């Protein structure tokens, strides 16, 4: 978010959500001012850098956006408080079913919901299914809080992303890309509901992985679980590499398997299962 207009037409900014400042120098951005502007987060050229500077991170408060406009134009078009997003169109990579882009966390999840809704058109299901595209998750699960209260569901399945594998990462908390959605297990998640999802994945031969989460899941599931008198909640996640950068990467196969899994689960729901949920 824009915090200051500097002399020369440059902008200072503050992050909305968590961003590693090391991913920002040289990053293209879109400034959502009176009209959409493009810019770049400035990076000093190597020619002008001292050896010491190269060994340091440029902290967020020293970074700036260059909209590449005269100062007068910037003043006319940009105000403090304007949002700025990373600029990167999604793209399919050569092999497999891999795509890369910004905001796959969690537009990938929203996409899975859309697929699921389409699939449910062709499936017989007794339960009413509500789809929620929630907001303000990145600043503290706020949209989920009011939604869970408002909809008062009998159970909830949260769809999000989890960390994909990569060198140098702790293998306790990363999951293989393309090996199926991760079904979360732990105090945040309802054991009976979670077990049912796993059973359905097995019955339908859908690839899946188990994601143990010892506490806060960092997802909307945390808010849903304790809404009103408590909501049985499960969490399904698409493994995603390089989270919160412009080059997030997922396998579409995982996304599709995830949406199938929710569809089959929704199709299998009946009153009896709601009783079973109480036996935990």
Partner 1 sequence: MLAELSDLRGVSGDEGIVRRLLVEKLDQFQSKTAVDTMGNLLVRKGSKSINPRIMLSAHMDEVGLMVMSIHDSGLLKFKPVGGIDRRVLVAKRVRIGAEGLPGVIGSKPVHLQKEGEQKKPFDEEKLFIDAGFKNRSEAEKNVQIGDYVTFDSSCVELGDGFYRGKAFDDRAGCQILLELLLENNGLVFDAAFTVQEEVGARGAAVAAYTLQPQVALAVETTAAADTPETEKESISTALGAGPAISFMDRTIMVSRDMREGLVEAAETAGVPYQFRRFTGAGTEAGIIALTRDGIKTGVVAVPCRYIHSPHSILQEKDIRATVNLIRAWLERRQ
Say if strands 209-212 and 91-92 run parallel, antiparallel, or are unpaired. Answer: unpaired
CA distance linking residue 158 with residue 186, whole number of Å: 14
Question: Which position among 5, 21, 82, 142 is part of the footprint of partner 1 (CB under 8 A)?
Answer: 21
Residue 58 touching partner 1 (CB under 8 A): yes
Question: Which position among 1, 3, 16, 22 is part of the footprint of partner 1 (CB under 8 A)?
Answer: 22
Question: Which position among 235, 249, 258, 266 is part of the footprint of partner 1 (CB under 8 A)?
Answer: 249
Residue 20 touching partner 1 (CB under 8 A): yes
Residue 5 touching partner 1 (CB under 8 A): no
- The minimum distance between CB 7 and partner 1, in angstroms, equals 8
Residue 167 touching partner 1 (CB under 8 A): yes
Residue closer to partner 1 (CB basis): 21 or 186? 21
Catalytic residue among 30, 87, 137, 275: 137
Residue 88 touching partner 1 (CB under 8 A): yes
Residue closer to partner 1 (CB basis): 170 or 275? 170
Residue 19 touching partner 1 (CB under 8 A): yes
Binding mask of the shown chain, residues 117 to 136, with x at each position contacting partner 1 by CB under 8 A: --------------------
Residue 243 touching partner 1 (CB under 8 A): yes
C-alpha atoms less than 13 angstroms from C-alpha of 3 in its C-beta half-sphere: 10
CA distance linking residue 79 with residue 33, whole number of Å: 7
Residue 137 annotated in active site? yes
Binding mask of the shown chain, residues 198 to 237, with x at each position contacting partner 1 by CB under 8 A: --------------------x-------------------
Mark residue 168 as left, alpha or beta (left: phi above 0; alpha: psi -120 to 50; beta: remaining). left
Residue closer to partner 1 (CB basis): 73 or 126? 73
Residues 59 to 78 in contact with partner 1, rule: CB under 8 A: 62, 64, 66-70, 73
Residues in a beta bridge with 209: 182
CA distance linking residue 47 with residue 270, whole number of Å: 67
Residue 252 touching partner 1 (CB under 8 A): no
- The minimum distance between CB 67 and partner 1, in angstroms, equals 7
CA distance linking residue 275 with residue 51, whole number of Å: 66
Where on the chain is the footprint of partner 1 (CB under 8 A)? 6, 8, 10, 12, 18-28, 37-40, 42-49, 54-58, 62, 64, 66-70, 73, 88, 91, 93-96, 98, 100, 163, 166-170, 173-174, 178, 218, 241-247, 249
* Residues that are catalytic: 137
């Amino acid at each position: 978010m824009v915090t200051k207009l500097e002399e020369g037409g440059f902008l200072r900014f503050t992050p909305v959500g968590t961003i590693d400042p090391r991913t920002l120098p040289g990053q293209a951005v879109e400034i959502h001012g009176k009209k959409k502007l493009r810019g770049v987060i400035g990076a000093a050229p190597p020619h002008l850098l001292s050896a010491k500077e190269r060994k340091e991170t440029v902290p967020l408060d020293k970074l700036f956006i260059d909209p590449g406009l005269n100062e007068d134009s910037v003043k006319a078009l940009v105000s403090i408080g304007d949002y700025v997003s990373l600029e990167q169109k999604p793209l399919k990579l050569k092999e497999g079913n891999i795509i890369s882009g910004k905001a796959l966390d969690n537009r990938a999840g929203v996409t899975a919901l859309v697929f699921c809704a389409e699939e449910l058109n062709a499936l017989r299901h007794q339960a009413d299914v509500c789809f929620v595209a929630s907001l303000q998750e990145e600043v503290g699960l706020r949209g989920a809080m009011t939604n869970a209260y408002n909809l008062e569901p009998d159970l909830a399945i949260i769809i999000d992303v989890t960390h994909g594998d990569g060198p140098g990462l702790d293998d306790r908390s990363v999951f293989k890309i393309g090996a199926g959605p991760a079904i979360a297990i732990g105090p945040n998640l309802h054991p009976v509901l979670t077990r049912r999802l796993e059973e359905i994945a097995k019955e339908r031969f859908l690839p899946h992985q188990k994601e143990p989460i010892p506490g806060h899941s960092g997802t909307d599931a945390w808010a849903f679980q304790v809404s009103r008198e408590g909501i049985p909640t499960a969490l399904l996640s698409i493994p995603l590499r390089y989270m919160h950068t412009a080059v997030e990467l997922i396998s579409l196969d995982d996304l599709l398997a995830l949406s199938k899994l929710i569809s089959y689960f929704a199709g299998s729901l009946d009153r009896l299962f709601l009783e079973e949920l109480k036996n935990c």
